[in-house]
């Protein structure tokens, strides 16, 4: 196993002390660096141009559609998954779900 001498013990102890000192230094430096980065990024965030929002146009005199009862062919898809897909399509396109017509949903 080897001889454990006082000098080898001191070397091991000094190595552990150095590791813990570096961990403490890192714990002190990380918040400082994050505050500096945040201070540098703040002016950049404030200088960004806000996206223009389009005012919603008043709908023309169209007949109001209360609801459409249609059939959707579900091919290898359960109803819960089909409902999630329909909601995602409605959200991503920005078209209300009541205005979309789904003919079939098929698992690929």
Interatomic CA distance for residues 94 and 4, integer angstroms: 73
Considering the domain architecture, whether residues 3 and 38 belong to the same structural domain is answered as yes
**Domain containing 81: what range?**
73-106
Q: Where are the alpha helices (DSSP H) in 1-108?
A: 6-47, 79-93
Report which of 95, 70, 69, 73 is spatially closest to residue 82, judged by C-alpha positions: 73
Amino acid 1: pLDDT: 53
Considering the domain architecture, whether residues 41 and 3 belong to the same structural domain is answered as yes
Using the predicted structure, report yes or no on whether residue 63 has a pLDDT greater than 80. Answer: no
Comparing 47 with 88, which gets the higher pLDDT? 88
- In a domain, residue 58? The reply is no
Q: With pLDDT > 90 as the criterion, what percentage of the chain qualifies? A: 34
Using the predicted structure, report yes or no on whether residue 57 has a pLDDT greater than 80. Answer: no
29 in Cβ contact with 37 (< 8 Å): no
Interatomic CA distance for residues 78 and 86, integer angstroms: 12
- In a domain, residue 64? The reply is no
Using the predicted structure, report yes or no on whether residue 104 has a pLDDT greater than 70. Answer: yes
**Domain count for the chain:** 2
pTM over 0.75: no
- In a domain, residue 65? The reply is no
């Amino acid at each position: 196993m080897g001889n454990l001498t006082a000098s080898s013990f001191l070397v091991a102890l000094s190595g552990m002390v150095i590791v813990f000192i570096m961990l403490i230094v890192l714990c002190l430096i990380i918040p400082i660096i994050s505050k500096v980065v945040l201070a540098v990024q703040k002016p950049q965030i404030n200088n960004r141009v806000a996206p223009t929002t389009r005012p919603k146009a008043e709908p023309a005199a169209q007949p109001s559609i209360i609801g459409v009862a249609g059939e959707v062919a579900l091919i290898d898809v359960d109803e819960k998954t089909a409902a999630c897909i329909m909601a995602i399509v409605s959200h991503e396109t920005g078209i209300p779900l009541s205005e979309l017509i789904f003919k079939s949903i098929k698992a690929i």
